[in-house]
Amino acid sequence: MTENDFLGFDPQSLSAFNPSEQSKLQGNSLIYRTRPADSISEDKHYRSTIKVVYNVFAPKNSIIEQQSYAMQDENGWFVVVSSLTNNDTSCPIFKAWKKCHYAEKGSTLWKQAAKTEEGGNALFDKRYARYAVIQVLEDKNQPNLVGKYMFWKMPRSVYDVINNKMNPSKESGKASIPVMDFLFGRSIDLEVVPGPGNPGDERYARETKYQCELSEDPVSCINPDGSPLLNSTEQEVLDMYIFKMSKVWKEKNPETRAEMKAAVDSDPNTVELRKIYNEKVIPQIKSVCPNLVEHMGYKEWTPEITARVEKWINTVLAGNNPAIQTVVEAEVVNNVGTASSATVETAPVAETNEPMFNTSNSDDDLPF
């Protein structure tokens, strides 16, 4: 099987289930947001039907576990995706955090990383998120999005449901169900329930709940215009495959299941479906689907971003607050946490520079 043989793709091989295989990623703004504030329902619950699908360009990297830092300097807030996304601990921000975190408790350096409730400055604002590609199948709140492939910040509750189906424990004896497959995966009925209060209230966002239900039967993706991916003849081939594979997915005995799966794989109908998949379905989806690996997550920082991060780190390690001070010449705080001499310029933060991550009034649809 080749890397992009989706018909034979093993759902358990996702890099999200195998952290050592995480790829290099970079962020993108094409995000599907399911905010209760945008709901047209009287109860303000956001309801939609989506399909979480494989990354058509690199199926193993279909769920990207992104780690980033939000930082503030004299020019305002900025966010960078860390190489920690790749399990690469050489990230300079992470190394600076360790230097502060493991400094002598109560020292100037220690306070830079310590939480505010501990008397610290909490300057290292690290963020974690899982991203995947979804297709919007139904959304009365944003009907213009129906049919589109987008990126989605996946809530833990939805991830757990997918993980349980696609990556069951060996002890369970259950088959791995290809929930994210384009042709015979499952759809998700999503219901986003806001916390108490009104939009803008802290608890309204922080206590948002994400409820989801997988469809019992396979559901195919559609073209962006709502038309089916397959014609009637091709659909018959798919239906026959699903009929045979349904028995495989329901089989409890792993050895019997493997024998049944091998028989289906060698069936002429499956050979025909693989041809349809590789010659028609995948090219169609690639033409309309954004590349998760290229557009979400970590990439090498530009020289400008690198310089800005280095300046921020130098200011922090000099015992100063980058939001109000620019270090011109500064020595790193020594090992016992006493700040060395430094020349600084004070620079007030412009009032228009709002944080990109504001937990009390965020435009993000996740409270974490």
In the predicted model, is pLDDT for residue 143 greater than 90?
A: yes
Are 298 and 81 contacting, i.e. CB atoms less than 8 angstroms apart? yes
In the predicted model, is pLDDT for residue 355 greater than 80?
A: no
Q: Give domain status of residue 1, yes or no.
A: no
Residue 357 confidence (pLDDT): 28
Q: Give domain status of residue 313, yes or no.
A: no
Domains held by the chain: number = 1
Q: What is the pLDDT of residues 225-266, one digit of tens each?
A: 999 999 999 999 999 999 999 999 999 999 999 999 999 999
In the predicted model, is pLDDT for residue 340 greater than 60?
A: no
- List the domain range (segments joined by +) for residue 154: 6-67+128-295
Q: Tokens 């033409």 label which residue? A: 287
Q: Give domain status of residue 265, yes or no.
A: yes
Residue type for position 363: D
- Print burial letters for 197-233: b (CB count within 10 Å at least 16), e (below 16): eeeeeeebbeebebebebeeebbbbbebeeeebbeee
Note the helical H segments in 147-231: 156-166, 202-206
Q: Give domain status of residue 251, yes or no.
A: yes
Distance CA 255, CA 337 (A): 61
Which residues lie across from 130 on neighbouring strands? 65
Q: Give domain status of residue 175, yes or no.
A: yes
Residue 16 confidence (pLDDT): 61
Q: Give domain status of residue 187, yes or no.
A: yes
Q: Tokens 């991060």 label which residue? A: 309
In the predicted model, is pLDDT for residue 347 greater than 90?
A: no
- Print burial letters for 55-69: b (CB count within 10 Å at least 16), e (below 16): bbbbbbbbbbbbbbb
Check residue 273 and report its DSSP letter: H
Q: 22 falls in which pLDDT band (50, 70, 90)?
A: very low
Q: What is the pLDDT of residues 177-222, one digit of tens each?
A: 999 999 999 999 999 999 998 888 889 888 999 999 999 999 999 9
Task: Write the DSSP string, 336-355.
Answer: TSPPPPEEEEE-PPPTT---
Q: Give domain status of residue 322, yes or no.
A: no
Q: Angle between the 303-317 and 92-101 helix axes, to the nearest 10 degrees?
A: 10
Averaged pLDDT, 162-191? 94
Q: Give domain status of residue 77, yes or no.
A: no
Choose between 153 and 327: higher pLDDT.
153
In the predicted model, is pLDDT for residue 80 greater than 50?
A: yes
